[in-house]
Amino acid sequence: MSLSLFPGAEAAPLALKAVRQALGRRLFGRQMLHFARVGSTNEVARRLAAQGVPEGLLVWAEEQTAGRGRMGRRWEAPRGSSLLVSLLLRPYLSPERAFLLSALASLAVAEAVEVETGLRCELKWPNDVLVNGRKCCGILVELEGKGHRIAYAVIGWGLNVNLRFEGPLAERATSLAQELGRPLPRLPLLVACLERMESWYFALRAGRDEELWAAWRARLGMLGRTVEVSTPEGPFVGEAVDVAPDGSLLVRRADGTLIPVRAGDVSVRPIAANRGLVVE
């Protein structure tokens, strides 16, 4: 088994009453749903969004049976080991600016983890949160459009809190407990994530897009590094030089061609491999 509960961790559920009391009268968490076990928190939030539930709805589960990440990947975690959360928003955004929601979520989680644990976080384009180069949180943003604006957005995130990774999986994934060498309570982490998300969401609503974008971009550890990119059109290698205003990763190939990557899987090559790339 490559995934298990970290030794000493208690898989006690995040009780609805405790979360409500900790959040107080915030917009995020105005309505809440808690499941011991559910297919996907994102699916629950999307179904309720379609029924007209207002923004701020918070859905979380102790275990998911059909959790999803980017590009259709499964997201698995033992019961009570992680934060498996979805948040419903109704932002006044055009679809062209939707990437700001993904940036907002990943930035907020990184800031929350740093405040609660002291662990330094980097971001991997477009929205993975890394600790010591390994993934500790994945984010999935799903949208529904209405004309030229977003009708609703569901931000789902899975944060590895008290997980133990073994075998090949441990080379690319980690948990906060594994990095600290001790289990952590999940409630303070959930509250911190929501506080940072709400703060950045209000900043976005106030028109402070550039501030959000700059803070997110500053944490992209792959900029200036050699990356391998897998896209529907095929893989290629280049240098990640910047991010475009629409959220695309700009990758310069060895022949000097600048490629905007809007969707795909991007991985950083080891430092030794970087020396072999000639960029014109």
d(CA 158, CA 56): 18
| Residue 2's pLDDT band (cuts 50, 70, 90) | confident
∠ CA 128-121-154, nearest 5°, is: 35
- Kindly report, residue by residue over 120-174, the tens digit of the pLDDT: 999 999 999 999 999 999 999 999 987 788 999 999 999 999 999 999 989 999 9
* Nearest in space to 214 (alpha carbons), one of 203, 205, 224, 225: 203
- Kindly report, residue by residue over 175-221, the tens digit of the pLDDT: 999 999 999 999 999 999 999 999 999 999 999 999 999 999 999 99
* Nearest in space to 43 (alpha carbons), one of 13, 75, 11: 75
pLDDT score at 147? 76
Average pLDDT on 246-251 reads 92
| Residue 75's pLDDT band (cuts 50, 70, 90) | low
* Nearest in space to 151 (alpha carbons), one of 52, 7, 39: 52
The mean-pLDDT minimum among 106-110, 235-239, 274-278 falls in 274-278
234 vs 259: which has the higher pLDDT:
259
- Kindly report, residue by residue over 93-119, the tens digit of the pLDDT: 888 889 999 999 999 999 999 999 999
User: Rounded to a whole number, what is the distance in angstroms from the first to the last CA of the chain?
Assistant: 46
Average pLDDT on 246-274 reads 82
Average pLDDT on 54-65 reads 95
| Residue 73's pLDDT band (cuts 50, 70, 90) | low
- Kindly report, residue by residue over 28-47, the tens digit of the pLDDT: 999 999 999 999 999 999 99
Q: Is the pLDDT assigned to residue 273 strictly greater than 60?
A: no
d(CA 78, CA 262): 32
Average pLDDT on 250-271 reads 86
pLDDT score at 263? 79
Q: Is the pLDDT assigned to residue 274 strictly greater than 50?
A: no
Q: Is the pLDDT assigned to residue 60 strictly greater than 50?
A: yes
d(CA 189, CA 204): 22
pLDDT score at 69? 52
Q: Is the pLDDT assigned to residue 241 strictly greater than 60?
A: yes
